[in-house]
Amino acid sequence: KLKDHGGLLELFARDLKDQTAHLALVGPDSSGVDDDPEGAAVYSDILEQYRVLPEAVRQRVHLVSLPMADLDENAFMVNALQRRADVIVQKSLAEGFGLTVSEGMWKGRPVVASRLGGIQDQIVNDESGILVDDATDFPAFAAAIDSLLADRDLAERIGNGAREQVKSGLLSVQRLILHYRLIEALIQPEPVPDP
């Protein structure tokens, strides 16, 4: 529920100006995820919300449940979807470090996301993504998405900035190296000056 797929679906149907855009709501098949007891109920709610949308909107909404039996196959599908996306949206109501955000940024995709939790540590607003201050402000999310869909140069600039942001230190291996260097510097004995 904290990913707020329902809110994203609502703003897509109601607030997005670009009536040619498609929305892919992507997540794991809830039967393949042991640590998400709410997953099936959330998907059921989304399905009900989808069913009452006007036909013209339903034709542009794609509910995608990815199989989890083969994790490599799942990763290939996620990769393909992210690389094909014009914009990636993480409209979370609460979030730690959003892996979806960094994955999309690594692929040079512009990301629109809630300014909260670990997401705001990943994105530099208007440079490597667009942060929306209030996760419940549907018109603000729609405006950010519309701006990227309407201005390909802006989307490319932010996508390139996103990739550079990840390359510059968001990857966990890079963070680990930085922590190691810090620890190493702290434990190095200081040279004793000659008397």
Query: In sequence order, what are the residues at sequence separation of 6 or more whose Cβ sits closer than 8 angstroms to the Cβ of residue 174?
Result: 168
Digit-coded pLDDT (tens) for 39-92: 888 899 999 999 999 999 999 999 999 998 999 999 999 999 999 999 999 999
Digit-coded pLDDT (tens) for 115-149: 999 999 999 999 999 999 999 999 999 999 999 99
Total-model pTM: 0.84
